[in-house]
Amino acid sequence: MRRPVPALEKQWTVLDLIRWGSDYFREKDIDSPRLTVELMLCSVLECSRVQLYTDFERPLGKDELAALKAMIQRRVRHEPLQYIVGKADFYGLLFTVAPDVLIPRPETEFLVQRAIRILADTDGARCLDIGTGSGCIPVAIAVHAKTSHWLAVDVSPGAVRIARENAREHGMEDRVDVEVMDVLDAWPEGRFHLVTMNPPYIPVSEIPTLQEEVRDYEPHIALTDDADGLTFFRRCIDMMKRTLEPGGHMLVEVMAGQADIVADLAREAGMTVEVIDDLAGIPRIVSGTMV
């Protein structure tokens, strides 16, 4: 049975909308239907999920219902939930996101986790994040590696604006400096103890095969190099010879099938290499240490 989007004239409580929304999104084949409607309600009502659960009988006003209805209509067109609510969870932190930036992925948390371990015994490390997007990588690391200082660069002014906002929201604006830079044409000055990178690594030939949420909504420039997916690895890893201090570290995220190629590039640049698998057993992070 086709369910109409909630009418503004009827009084709807939080519980009514959770039940209705769960069924509606399930019928529309939307992933995590109950979680989706709960997060939308949290955004509209500006509350946590715990608060939502303690206020099931709260009625929504017409403006709140209208805002929720607009969110529902966007989601059934396969716009990512994170863009709709403007937030994404990453490494236990909440980050502002928008269509200017890639949505943070759980697999990238492996890179953050390894970086925090690397920096644990280093005081005042100078670090670089290439293609920072939302800034989730340097900000999450800086929150835990409390003496590290970061330069985060991205070619997109919109991404830089969002990354700066995220640094401010987490109190890291003094330790995470975000700048506009195209690393294919320019390069940061000086040497760094740690360089992190999650570049546009999807081959352009694979873009049509991606899920609608990714292909049609996430920034093309953050997904692919419009070539074989290896452009940034070739350029940036070659630059590590003049970028990493002796004993310095590089951590880069790769897609399935790229780890061996990227590891070879790192060895050619003078690094010892370790490849780290994600929870699915896919080689996901290439870690290099400059000899």
Q: Dump pLDDT digits (tens) for 131-162.
A: 999 999 999 999 999 999 999 999 999 999 99
Report the chain's C-alpha Rg in angstroms.
21
Smallest CA-to-CA distance from 176 within 121, 238, 133 is with 133
The answer to the question of whether 198 is labelled as a binding residue is: yes
The answer to the question of whether 188 is labelled as a binding residue is: no
Q: Is 221 left (phi over 0), alpha (psi -120 to 50) or beta?
A: alpha
Q: Is 268 helix (H, G, I), strand (E, B) or coil?
A: helix
4 pLDDT more than 70: no
The answer to the question of whether 55 is labelled as a binding residue is: no
φ/ψ (deg, to 5) at 277: -85, 155
The answer to the question of whether 288 is labelled as a binding residue is: no
pTM flag (> 0.85): yes
The answer to the question of whether 166 is labelled as a binding residue is: no
Mean pLDDT across the chain = 96
Q: All domains of the chain, ordered by start, with CATH?
A: 14-77 (1.10.8), 98-290 (3.40.50.150)
Other C-beta atoms closer than 10 Å to the C-beta of 186 total: 11
The answer to the question of whether 33 is labelled as a binding residue is: no
The answer to the question of whether 134 is labelled as a binding residue is: yes
81 pLDDT more than 80: yes
